[in-house]
Structure 1
């Protein structure tokens, strides 16, 4: 699979050079390319490449900050997704002292890509002002702008710098999330759920209070709370399990739990199967946990969702699943004794150990 950083390749650099030159004839195109494509270019990761391009734009557009913004506004609609991050990054790096112009630019740039990373230094500089701005963005007619209100203010945004005020007191962003909890866009509601999932990791009690208030209010808020609860559900939090009706674990019984192999090699898959019988009608959530052997020989657990359904009294359901031990960019596998555990409505039921060789 092509690495994400490859979005900033020589074709992108050439295309952006052409577009900038059309917008500003005084653009130093040759210097721009040489600044970017230094000997270390191939070793730079995504965000490092983005920043290199941002710095090259600043060095080669002989205009003021606000004039540069107008040039970038002309060019930005040609770039979407990760490629478009360079435009909001320019604002992040060079625009903190020009609040009004920068906020307007970020509102425009986010509609082509996202400005979720670029707004965070503005939150750090003036959290109260940015929270008010985000509340205004939450009322926008554009779903990308509304999403910026929730995504940019997330307590633990992946790849994003930390905002101490929000990390310490996520209640600050609740007015933003409240205004978006029934947003017509799933894209926005998913962002609200992700923000609340961040809250569960540091302030679970606050999240549980929100969940109790929002649940059964509307189908959209139910979806948000359920999606936001995923980390707590995987941890088997009893309050959250009870909130969603995952109870009666003592009346749910695993039968014929087996794995197809006692050992396998890195890169292979393991197949496991079992039957589940219920003595009562109940909601049913099945997870399985893998205790992975790490480089130092210790084991760490990762929980995977297997099924979320319901079961009738005296009903038996059959399950089978394969799990890959192929190395990924996010996980490296090591030899040793691993363990697979079935978890039903928050209760660990049965475990099987197997070797990775």
Structure 2
């Protein structure tokens, strides 16, 4: 039996959730127009994406609340702790970005407050686009805040290529603008913050790889938190086989190994099935060596050509003469980011950026 598919992400904002928001708002403000809000918020709901639904909640609230930004912020402050989902709470900073651009100071305080309930990472970006100097000054201050959600907002909100949002062209062109934020957070005690810093730097590698490499080469990677950020920040460059990036993580040398028993099973699959990759690496070196092991799949495109996608597998230290068995199961299924087409899919083993061997599997219609 095929397991039931997970509900679409947009169903976070379903009718039941909208009614919950309305009831919570009514508890805050007995004069709240519950019926008017629900009429607006549920209109054509089925055709809206998750981010469109989030925006619709903010817009519907604004339509039925009294005129007055400051008074409405007070209502939303009281509403925030009554909501039952961090993601749902993100309509609160959306309200600030939509209706508070005229009141910078008050809006910054509100975004800092609301990010502790649901991230303000999307809402800070219109302020960065319209007033980057003043907004970056605020983010530099937030990078020193005691609350990890606020520190994470400083990094995540200023990412040049934040998914689901528009690009910050000034920061994309000049990554040095956010450098003080990244420097402040390069050894942050919170994994939540460190992941954001790594993702921010990985964004920058798409446009300014040498800038990121020079920055990380200037850091002391003896600190385990900073070393973790460096490894994850350089993941795209490592997948590309960038020698400087590989050297930073201790894998800059050419691998001295033999690839053995490479196989992918089954050799023929249909969409929705799994492949099982397995192989062994045997050291031919006289001393231990650090290895970064990846694999790449040449996905067939609609035109019949292929496009390679590199996947992380394992980083390991292989002693002299030792042998390591490695493997991975991968589900070949449709994704929002990838459509599959029938044909022969080559699979390559990459060690320290070098291709050591290849095999293939066939995807049938």
Which digits, 9 at most, give the CA deviation of each residue in 1:75-133, with x for residues without a partner? 01223321111100001111111111111111110000100000000001110111110
Aligned with residue 7 of structure 2, among 2, 6, 9: 2
Question: Tell me, what secondary structure is at the counterpart of 1:214?
Answer: coil
Whether the 8 Å CA contact 2:121–2:153 is kept in 1: the answer is: yes
TM-score normalised to the size of structure 1?
Answer: 0.96
Whether the 8 Å CA contact 1:272–1:321 is kept in 2: the answer is: yes
TM superposition shift of 1:222:
0.9
Change (3 A) 1:248 1:169: closer
Aligned with residue 292 of structure 2, among 285, 297, 310: 285
> Are positions 1:72 and 2:76 aligned together?
yes
Residue in 2 that maps onto 1:298: 305
Instruction: Return the alpha-carbon distance in structure 2 between the equivalents of residues 167 and 248 of structure 1.
Output: 32
Which digits, 9 at most, give the CA deviation of each residue in 1:37-95, with x for residues without a partner? 11x21110001111111111011011301110010000012233211111000011111
> Are positions 1:356 and 2:363 aligned together?
yes
Which digits, 9 at most, give the CA deviation of each residue in 1:311-343, with x for residues without a partner? 111112222322221223333321111110000
Question: Tell me, what secondary structure is at the counterpart of 2:188?
Answer: coil
Q: Which runs of 5+ in 1 are unaligned?
A: none
TM-score normalised to the size of structure 2?
Answer: 0.94
Which digits, 9 at most, give the CA deviation of each residue in 1:287-321, with x for residues without a partner? 01011112232211111111111111111222232
Residue in 1 that maps onto 2:150: 145
Whether the 8 Å CA contact 2:300–2:344 is kept in 1: the answer is: yes
TM superposition shift of 1:272:
2.6
Residue in 2 that maps onto 1:178: 183
Instruction: Return the alpha-carbon distance in structure 1 between the equivalents of residues 134 and 253 of structure 2.
Output: 48
Residue in 1 that maps onto 2:320: 313
Whether the 8 Å CA contact 2:261–2:280 is kept in 1: the answer is: yes
Aligned with residue 168 of structure 1, among 167, 173, 177: 173
Aligned with residue 136 of structure 1, among 112, 135, 141: 141
Whether the 8 Å CA contact 1:214–1:225 is kept in 2: the answer is: no
Aligned with residue 238 of structure 1, among 226, 240, 243: 243
Q: Trace 1:90-239 onto structure 2 (pairs within 5 A).
A: 90-239=95-244
Aligned pairs, number: 356
TM superposition shift of 1:137:
0.7
Instruction: Return the alpha-carbon distance in structure 2 between the equivalents of residues 223 and 332 of structure 1.
Output: 32
Instruction: Return the alpha-carbon distance in structure 1 between the equivalents of residues 244 and 182 of structure 2.
Output: 22
Residue in 2 that maps onto 1:265: 270
Q: Trace 1:23-62 onto structure 2 (pairs within 5 A).
A: 23-38=28-43, 40-62=44-66
Instruction: Return the alpha-carbon distance in structure 2 between the equivalents of residues 26 and 105 of structure 1.
Output: 23
Question: Tell me, what secondary structure is at the counterpart of 1:249?
Answer: coil
Question: Tell me, what secondary structure is at the counterpart of 1:271?
Answer: strand
Whether the 8 Å CA contact 2:255–2:351 is kept in 1: the answer is: no
Residue in 2 that maps onto 1:339: 346
Instruction: Return the alpha-carbon distance in structure 2 between the equivalents of residues 116 and 199 of structure 1.
Output: 17
